Structure 1
Amino acid sequence: MENKNVIKATRQEIMEILGVTPRNLKEIEKKNQLQERLNANGYKFIEKVKKGRNYEYYMEIAENIDNGVLLKSVLENVFKVRKYLSFSEYYTIRYVFAKAKWQGASQSAIAEKVGVSERTISNWDNILKEKGLIKQDGYYYYKKDMNTFEEHQICEEEYSSYWRNKKYIKAMKSLQNRYDRGEITWEELCVAIAENEEIRRSVEGKYCFRIKKYIIDALNVTCKDYFELIKKVFLTDIGLEYIELKK
């Protein structure tokens, strides 16, 4: 299988392409209809190979299929979406940012860019992760100046320190309640208040947050195949405006 145009798929991926259940696929194969059904979805079936206890399916994109029809089939059957352009824009952003190791592209920013809800972006992220197309590789950490709204990258320790201090400030209310109940002395409360004031100043005027860092699974060749298909169909519609999300 040295041909770079050959696509290797698992049984689960074949079911997703065809939009069928395990029982349906078994029946399709029993009736020797797999090639016909794959052709209808834009793929030319090559062969099925047993690897251990599982099977691998080899196929390639049919030359005579319309790219728009093929993409529609992939989006509906593999990703279970009908927001064709929005998902294609989303996929392009996730793929390019992960491939180029760019920072930024938060779920809220992508949602605003492609015109869907933040929850939808979260669901799409989960789909890509479940299919092994992208993998989370930690986080990017940022600090926002609440006066100028400028953002700067920070280290994980500064991010963690910020949120520890925020938690401490919130806990001060319980210390006041403990003093009111006579559980701590006035001196102890004053020490805590002095420490709290210093901590409060350390977090004042800024906000620290993090964004998930995604990388491409280099072993999953279909990730690039989907991106190339999206480019063929939607390149002029998507354009390059999404690059402004890059920090």
Structure 2
Amino acid sequence: MKNLAGHNISIFLFQFVLRKNAISFVLNESIAEDLYPEIEEQIQPLTQACSETLMRHRHLCHEEIIMDGNILVDNCFEVMLSAGLGKHFAEREKQNLFNDAHKIANLLMEVMDRRTKELEQGTYPGPQYVTPKIQRTQSTNKGLEALGRKRQQSPWDTNEIYDLSRLNPDDLPKDVLVRKGYDHRGHCLAFEHKRLGDLGRIILTYIGKDKTLVEAELSKDNPDTLDEKQKVLEEIVSTVEFNLRTIVKDI
């Protein structure tokens, strides 16, 4: 069996596979049966973040498998994108994507190591029925928020820290709540409205020379309220632009 780069593999770990309007996270079946609940909880926000990044580039992929992760015959882990896809990524975005793919791999290898010890000690409880899904849940959102806060503390992003305190709650539209989000492009702020629900996200990316790119993504939840949510999100973008003195890019 070979990976996307054509290298021989000894253990298949995972693939991100393109579907009609989505991406599926395909996990090694034996490992999936042995997933510990706490490991699965850690994997979910990582797969969510990876899938969102890959979805933005899916139109440039001409294969069914857009990214895979495997242990090669030399026992090294390798993550690969579909041929030619990597050149379309911003370097920071690609590095963050690969970093999270490595974190997923480390968690899966931890599962294998722990289960091996249980088999040796005679304490293995048997396979479990687990169906990994890429979807946003309250637990996943909390995991993404935790990842975002952890990134903000990283020395890698020392010059790109955007403190939520810069956003005065009184400046935001009424009934709007803000929390830390997570995105491979840069720092992410997620917004929610008490009545309208999830509004969407704003991603802040440092582009040098004291400039920051602001990208706004409107949540498609509750289609009947999209127009209202868009107006509120536009107000938020204006507030962020003013407070952070950034440039705005419509997406």
TM over 0.5: no
Structure possessing the higher radius of gyration over alpha carbons: 1
TM-score (norm 1): 0.20
Query: TM-score, normalization: structure 2?
Result: 0.20
Question: Which has a greater percent of strand?
Answer: 2
Report 1 or 2 for greater relative contact order, CA contacts < 8 Å, sequence distance ≥ 6: 1
- Which structure shows the higher helix fraction? 1
